[in-house]
Amino acid sequence: MRVIVIGGSGLIGSVIVHELIKSNVDVSVLDIVKPRFNVDYVFGDLNNVDDVASKIRGSDYVINAAQYYFNINAMKACLKAGVNYLDLGGLFWMTKRQLELNEDFEKEGLLALIGIGAEPGITNVVAQWLFRLHGTPRRIRIRDGWVSKSGRINWSPDTQLDELTMKAPVFENGEYRYCHPASRSEYVDFGIPIGRVTLT
At 78 the pLDDT is 98
Pinpoint the alpha helices (H) of the chain.
11-22, 49-56, 71-81, 92-99, 102-108, 123-134, 157-165
Whether residue 160 contacts residue 169, with contact meaning beta carbons closer than 8 Å, is answered with no
Q: Spell out the residues 6+ positions from residue 177 whose beta carbon is closer than 8 angstroms to its own.
A: 169, 170
Question: Which of the residue ranges 6-20, 124-138, 173-187 has the most confident prediction, judged by mean pLDDT?
Answer: 6-20
Query: Higher pLDDT residue, 180 or 83?
Result: 83
Whether residue 9 contacts residue 31, with contact meaning beta carbons closer than 8 Å, is answered with yes
Q: pLDDT per residue over 18-49, tens digit each?
A: 999 999 999 999 999 999 999 999 999 999 99
Residue range 92-108: mean pLDDT, rounded: 95
At 155 the pLDDT is 72
Of the candidate ranges 1-10, 84-93, 141-150, 186-195, the one whose mean pLDDT is the lowest: 141-150
Query: For the structural domain made of 2-113, what CATH number should be given?
Result: 3.40.50.720
Greatest CA separation for the chain:
50
At 48 the pLDDT is 98
User: 159: exposed, middle or buried (C-beta count within 10 Å: 0-12, 13-18, 19+)?
Assistant: middle
Give, in degrees to the nearest 5, the angle at Cα 178 between 177 and 183: 115
Residue range 101-122: mean pLDDT, rounded: 91
Q: Model pTM?
A: 0.84
Question: Which of the residue ranges 68-77, 115-124, 161-170, 182-191 has the most confident prediction, judged by mean pLDDT?
Answer: 68-77
At 91 the pLDDT is 85
Whether residue 9 contacts residue 29, with contact meaning beta carbons closer than 8 Å, is answered with yes
pLDDT at 87 over 90: yes
Neighbouring CB atoms inside 10 A of 168's CB total 19
DSSP letter for 176, please: E
Nearest to 58 by CA among 36, 33, 34, 84: 84
Percent of the chain with pLDDT over 90: 55
Domain extents for the chain? 2-113, 118-199
Query: Higher pLDDT residue, 2 or 198?
Result: 2
